[in-house]
């Protein structure tokens, strides 16, 4: 019996669904052309799952899929599969353009070289321009045989409803803490370290592994939270100086928006941690690795002031979503932190 192998933890319902499709394929049934939407936070395994699913459909083995050793699997691993396409926003561009979408549609309209499927993965699908989305919609309404499209998104609400309604939606959810701790332990992390990193990753196994394997990644990840905690005891000039030293001035466009949103998400998490200290629940904090800084700052604000600060930080994310400049949003947050 065929077995779909996917080296991921958590999200078993989505993995089981993909496994059933692979079994149907291995049994000789042709999968209907269509679109799958993988929606969820970054670092949950959406890209890994999409690639493994595609590779399994190309695989020439009928037992363990993907086998990783057949000619099709080797070509896929080398990035040389002629029937697999990845579409993503070009660097420094705000959206996936209509030209990119038309080129993909043209590629998918050609016959498969492998006599199997033609498969496209669209990364950051929420960045499809309106014109690109409309072009893709026409393809969905008149699909070619053996064509599968997988949309990866962190915000399914930003996808056109007309596309989502014609798709199979798979929600990728955060993985329970204990499963990430167990996974890190298998990689060699001692339990206290695994626990701290699992809390920091906030349900995202991919992030936890990255933080465990690379100390530089860990320090870079913690930097915005450290900046925020340090800012609580500084004057405005010191706060802005610290921000200017840390902010990557090379970031532009959507890359800057994504980075700023990540910072604000950490700022909000820090205020939550300070609230937990007010309730004498430090063991439940996300930033366990910053316990000394949290303890030092817990008395600077009352619980009511922290709730108000959390509200302002949430509003700041909304302003940025409304096209206010990310750097300006962060500077305004730091200026009005008290």
CB 150 within 8 A of CB 120: yes
Query: Can you tell me the distance from the alpha carbon of 32 to that of 23, in angstroms, rounded to the nearest whole number?
Result: 14
DSSP for 75-98, written as a single string: HHHTT--TTEEEE-PPTT-SSB-H
Q: What is the pLDDT of residue 292?
A: 94
Tens place of pLDDT per residue across the chain (338 aa): 567 777 788 899 999 999 999 989 888 888 887 899 999 999 999 999 999 999 999 998 877 789 999 999 999 999 999 999 999 988 777 889 999 999 999 999 988 887 789 999 999 999 999 999 999 888 888 878 889 999 999 999 989 888 999 899 999 999 999 999 999 999 999 999 999 999 999 999 999 999 999 888 899 999 999 999 999 989 999 999 999 999 998 888 778 888 999 999 999 999 999 999 999 999 999 999 999 999 999 889 999 999 999 999 999 988 887 777 899 999 999 998 87
139 and 253 inside one domain: no
- Token code pair at residue 263: 């910072």
- What domain count does the chain have? 3
69 and 162 inside one domain: yes
CB 176 within 8 A of CB 150: no
281 and 309 inside one domain: yes
281 and 201 inside one domain: no
Q: What is the pLDDT of residue 176?
A: 94
220 and 324 inside one domain: yes
CA dihedral 299, 301, 304, 307 (to 10 degrees): -110
Instruction: Write down which residue in 184, 213, 242 finishes a domain.
Output: 213
Instruction: Write down which residue in 156, 189, 213 finishes a domain.
Output: 213
* Greatest pairwise CA separation for the chain in angstroms: 68
43 and 166 inside one domain: yes
Q: What is the pLDDT of residue 2?
A: 63
- Residues forming beta bridges with residue 86, ordered by sequence position: 121
DSSP-derived 3-state class of residue 295: helix
63 and 163 inside one domain: yes
Instruction: Write down which residue in 213, 242, 267 finishes a domain.
Output: 213
203 and 96 inside one domain: no
Q: CA quadruple 73, 78, 83, 87: dihedral positive or negative? A: positive
Q: How many CB atoms lie within 10 A of CB 18?
A: 19
167 and 202 inside one domain: no
223 and 199 inside one domain: no
Q: Provide the residue range defining the domain that includes 205.
A: 176-213
- Cα distances (Å, whole numbers) of residue 301 to 97, 295, 316: 47, 12, 20
């Amino acid at each position: 019996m065929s077995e779909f192998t996917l080296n991921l933890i958590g999200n078993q319902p989505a993995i089981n669904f993909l496994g059933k499709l692979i079994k149907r394929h291995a049994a000789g049934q042709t999968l209907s052309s269509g679109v799958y939407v993988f929606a969820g936070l970054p670092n949950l395994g959406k890209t890994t799952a999409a690639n493994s699913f595609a590779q399994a459909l190309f695989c020439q083995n009928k037992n363990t899929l993907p086998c990783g050793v057949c000619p099709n699997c080797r070509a896929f691993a080398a990035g040389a599969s002629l029937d697999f396409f990845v579409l993503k926003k070009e660097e420094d561009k705000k959206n996936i353009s209509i030209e990119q979408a038309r080129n993909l549609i043209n590629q998918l309209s050609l016959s498969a070289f492998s006599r199997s499927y033609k498969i496209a993965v669209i990364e950051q699908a929420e960045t499809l321009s309106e014109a690109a989305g409309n072009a893709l919609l026409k393809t969905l309404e008149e699909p070619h045989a053996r064509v599968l499209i997988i949309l990866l998104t962190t915000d399914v609400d930003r996808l056109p409803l007309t596309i989502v309604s014609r798709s199979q939606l798979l929600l990728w959810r955060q993985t329970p803490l204990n499963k990430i701790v167990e996974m890190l332990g298998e990689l060699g992390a001692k339990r206290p370290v695994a626990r701290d990193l699992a809390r920091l990753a906030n349900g995202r196994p991919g992030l936890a592994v990255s933080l465990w394997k690379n100390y530089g990644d860990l320090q870079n990840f913690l930097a915005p939270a450290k900046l925020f905690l340090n800012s609580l005891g500084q004057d405005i000039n010191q706060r802005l100086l610290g921000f200017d030293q840390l902010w990557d001035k090379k970031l532009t466009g959507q890359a800057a928006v994504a980075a700023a949103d990540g910072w604000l998400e950490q700022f909000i998490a820090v205020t939550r941690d300070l609230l937990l200290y007010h309730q004498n629940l430090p063991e439940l904090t996300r930033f366990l690795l910053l316990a000394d800084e949290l303890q030092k700052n817990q008395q600077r604000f009352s619980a009511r002031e922290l709730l108000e600060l959390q509200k302002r930080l949430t509003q700041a994310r909304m302003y940025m979503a409304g096209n206010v400049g990310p750097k300006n949003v962060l500077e305004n947050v730091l200026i009005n932190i008290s």
